[in-house]
Amino acid sequence: MQEDLQTENSRQKPNSASSPTLLLGVAGYIFVVLVPAIVATFDGGQLLAHGMIQYGVTMSGVVAYSIISMQFVLVARFKWIVKPFGFPAVLRFHKTMAVVATLLTFVHVAMLVLSRGNWNVVLNPLASWPIQLGRVVVLALFAILAISFGRKLIPINNADWRWFHNALAWLILIFVCAQHGDGN
C-alpha cells in the first residue's frame, strides 16, 4: 500500500528547489489557476452586476474548476515540474490542492444555496442537469479524499487504490467540464 508509494518516492531526487525556484513555481501555478477567474471578472462587467453572492458562487466554482484541471498536470510527471522540486514535493502539493479544490467546491455549493435562498437547488431530484452533475462531482470529490487520506484505514492495495483514484478523477474532470458548458 503506502510502502509502494514510499519506495517510488525514494527513487526520486529529494526536494532540491531553491527558494526563488519554489517561489516562481508556486506563483506560476497561482497565476494559471486564477487567470480564468480574472477573465470572468472583467468579461463585460456582467458578473459583478449580479451581486457579491453570485460573484462568490461563480468565483469559487471557477477557481475550483481550475485547480481540478491542474491536478492532472501536477501528477503527470513532466520533467520541467518534477526535476526542480522532486516528485514527493509535487505529490504533497497535489494533495494539498485537492483539499483546497474540495473546500472551494463546498463553498460554491453553500453560496449557491445562499443565492437561491433555500436548499431546494441542491436537494431537488428534478433539478437541472448542471446541478445533477454537481452532486456527482461533490460525492466523487468526497470519495476520492476519503480513499486517499484514509488509505491506512482502508484495506486496499496500491493498484486498486490507484485505479479507483484515477477513475474518480476522470469522472470529476469530465462532469466539471460538462457543467462548465452550461455557463452557470
pTM of the model: 0.78
Looking at every residue in the chain, the average pLDDT score rounds to 81
Mean pLDDT of 41-70: 78
111 vs 108: CA distance, rounded Å: 5
Domain span at residue 70 reads 15-180
33 vs 37: CA distance, rounded Å: 8
pLDDT at 97: 93
Number of compact structural domains in the chain:
1
pLDDT for 42 beyond 70: yes
Is 5 inside any structural domain? no
pLDDT for 54 beyond 80: no
Q: Are 40 and 63 in contact (CB under 8 A)?
A: no
Is 1 inside any structural domain? no
Is 136 inside any structural domain? yes
The percentage of residues in the chain with a pLDDT greater than 70, rounded to a whole number, is 83
123 vs 131: CA distance, rounded Å: 9
Is 7 inside any structural domain? no
Is 48 inside any structural domain? yes
Mean pLDDT of 26-30: 89
Mean pLDDT of 112-134: 82
